[in-house]
Structure formats: C-alpha cells, structure tokens
Amino acid sequence: MFTERDINTGRRVGVIEVITGSMFSGKTEELIRRLKRAGYARQKVEIFKPAIDVRYSESAVVSHDDNTIRSTPVENSSNILLLSADVDVVGIDEAQFFDKHLVDVVVQLANQGVRVIVAGLDMDFKGNPFGPMPGLMAVADFVTKVHAVCMRCGTNAQFSHRLSEKEQVVLLGEKDIYEPLCRRCYIQANARQ
C-alpha cells in the first residue's frame, strides 16, 4: 500500500481505469486506443485477455471494427501478475470472464505503480452484474461507461440481449447471438420469452 511518504519521495503511483458497457458499445475499441497512446508515449505495455476468448484471434485483442493489438491469452488472473514484470501499463480485455481474484491482481499492480486499463461487460445477458466487474468498478480511479445503439429503436443501449435460448452465463458470440438494447426494448424482448 502506498503512503504519503511514497508519494512525496516520487515513487510512481498507479491508477485503475475501467471501461464498461454492453456488447457492441466500443469497450475494446477504447481499450486499444488508450493502449496504443501509451505505446506512442514509449511506455512499456502488456495486454492480456482470457484464453477462452478466441472469437477473432487466439493471440490478439480485436474490436468489432477489426482494430487489433497483440495480447497474451491467460488461463486465470494470477498469470497476469507473473507476466507483467517491469511494465508501465497493463491492459485487460473481456475482464468479465476472469476469476474473482482479478480485483486483487489489478489493485496489486496499481499499488506497484502500474497504470491498469480494464475493459469488460458490466452485466450478463440477464441484466445481472458480471463476474469481477462490480469489484473492479468499485476499486477503479476512473470508470468510463460506453453505450451501444439499440438495435430496435436507435436510442442508447446498455443491455446485451441474447437471441439464443441457451441459458449458460458464458456464451461467446457475436451479432448472431446478441443484440444491444435500451432498457425499454430489453424489457419488452424478455417479456415475450
């Protein structure tokens, strides 16, 4: 933990930034933008994603707009600590798929002076808080909530509505399985099911 003495002696203090919202809201796009800016500033950057997310690439973080940045897939959050020695910035995509210990990992990195930028869904398809995201938002220095466009009425969307009948919480998919909806359209869609 940092003390006032650490700050006064110039010891680098980290920060936690969380980017969250529904599917198709631009979370990964914003994560990539921030990480590339850090790279332009000649900061040492490491990016991680859950190993289960192979939708676009096994070893890259890819946005829905096909923006790409290289990453390291990891099985669990403790691997992030092992692989992020001597870095300035750590990026983590699809944080909702990580275990609950991700919050501790992120706090430890920030306490070591690392800027940590995390992107993930705030809610699952049922509208419930998703994985470690509530804890990450609680410990974050900054939270950016981005919105998609509702596919039914065109207003801001904050829900990821599942088009599939499958009930498991983790179901990787794209526009064939999910659509972003506003609150009104989300309630209407779920009332019909």
Which one-letter amino acid corresponds to residue 139? V
Contact 116, 106 (CB under 8 A): yes
For residue 19, with 0-12 CB atoms within 10 Å meaning exposed, 13-18 middle and 19 or more buried, which class applies? buried
Residue 29, token pair as written in the block: 């796009």
For residue 177, with 0-12 CB atoms within 10 Å meaning exposed, 13-18 middle and 19 or more buried, which class applies? middle
Residue corresponding to tokens 């991680």: 48
Assign 119 to helix, strand or coil.
Answer: strand
For residue 79, with 0-12 CB atoms within 10 Å meaning exposed, 13-18 middle and 19 or more buried, which class applies? middle
Contact 22, 160 (CB under 8 A): yes
Q: Which of 141, 144, 79 is nearest to 107 (CA)?
A: 141
Q: Which residues are catalytic?
A: 94
